[in-house]
């Protein structure tokens, strides 16, 4: 077996010297075969092939180090993916919990309103209760970055923030501006989640505004 290995190493050394063949140009099977021989610490290369075998051993060592680093990198990446997935799931759960806790206070206000005696409650009290609940709900939404968009009369119409329900000639309101806000819009941070529903003033039949 030793003579056979010596022959393969000697033949390849001679071929390499004659053709200047590089490791990159060798078939993978040949490289693996030679590296396997070089890894055998008990193997004594034939005379004249010592430098070649030593070079192969260095190549084998370098390749082992690169492969080990690749394995560590792959393992680190898999661990990172797992941690990222867990962190994302926990963040979503915390966000849902925060919203739920905030909304519970609004439910408390509804419960308070429902405890009123319907026989003695006045219209003013009912309206006041509804206003209080609305204010609390807006406060809760505000803690989560939600703000209301309620354009006033005469505000320039912005299709990115307003939805035109109708166009109408309105005395004292410039065409192209908002005559009435029917329903407020809402933003989450800088994102419009619902535009304000508005009536837009239009020009009169003669083409002039009613300003």
> pLDDT digits over 65-79, tens only?
888 899 999 999 999
Q: What is the pLDDT of residue 30?
A: 72
Element (H, E) at 103: helix 50-114
CATH number at residue 183: 2.30.22.10
Order of strands, sheet of 191-194, starting from the edge strand that comes earlier in the sequence: 146-149, 185-188, 191-194
Helices (H) and strands (E) in the chain, counts: 4, 6
Could you tell me if residue 150 is inside a domain?
yes
Could you tell me if residue 14 is inside a domain?
no
8 Å CB contact between 173 and 143: no
Could you tell me if residue 197 is inside a domain?
yes
CA atoms within 13 A on the CB side of 77: 6
8 Å CB contact between 179 and 139: no
Split into its structural domains, the chain has a count of 1
Q: How far apart are CA 175 and CA 167, in angstroms?
A: 9
> pLDDT digits over 146-181, tens only?
999 999 999 999 999 999 999 999 989 999 999 999
Could you tell me if residue 157 is inside a domain?
yes
Is 60 exceeded by the pLDDT of residue 210? no
Could you tell me if residue 168 is inside a domain?
yes
Please give the share of the chain, as a percent, with pLDDT higher than 90: 45
Q: Which of 204, 211, 208, 206 is nearest to 169 (CA)?
A: 204
> pLDDT digits over 107-158, tens only?
998 898 888 888 888 999 889 989 999 999 999 999 999 999 999 999 999 9
β partners of residue 71: none
Domain range enclosing 189: 146-206
Could you tell me if residue 183 is inside a domain?
yes
């Amino acid at each position: 077996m030793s003579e056979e290995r010596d022959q393969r190493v000697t033949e390849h050394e001679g071929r390499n010297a004659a053709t200047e063949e590089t490791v990159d140009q060798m078939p993978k099977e040949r490289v693996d075969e030679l590296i396997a021989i070089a890894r055998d610490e008990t193997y004594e290369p034939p005379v004249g092939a010592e430098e070649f075998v030593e070079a192969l051993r260095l190549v084998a060592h370098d390749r082992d180090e690169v492969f080990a680093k690749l394995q560590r990198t792959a393992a680190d990446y898999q661990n990172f993916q797992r941690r990222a997935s867990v962190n994302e799931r926990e963040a979503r759960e915390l966000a849902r919990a925060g919203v739920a806790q905030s909304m519970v206070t609004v439910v408390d206000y509804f419960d308070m309103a429902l405890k009123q005696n319907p026989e003695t409650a006045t219209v003013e009290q009912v309206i006041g209760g509804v206003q209080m609940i609305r204010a609390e709900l807006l406060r809760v939404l505000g803690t989560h970055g939600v703000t209301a968009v309620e354009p006033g009369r005469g505000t320039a119409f912005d299709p990115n923030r307003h939805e035109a329900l109708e166009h109408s000639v309105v005395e004292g309101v410039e065409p192209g501006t908002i005559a009435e806000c029917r329903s407020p819009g809402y933003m989450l941070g800088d994102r419009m989640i619902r535009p304000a529903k508005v009536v837009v003033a239009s020009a009169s039949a003669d083409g002039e505004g009613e300003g």
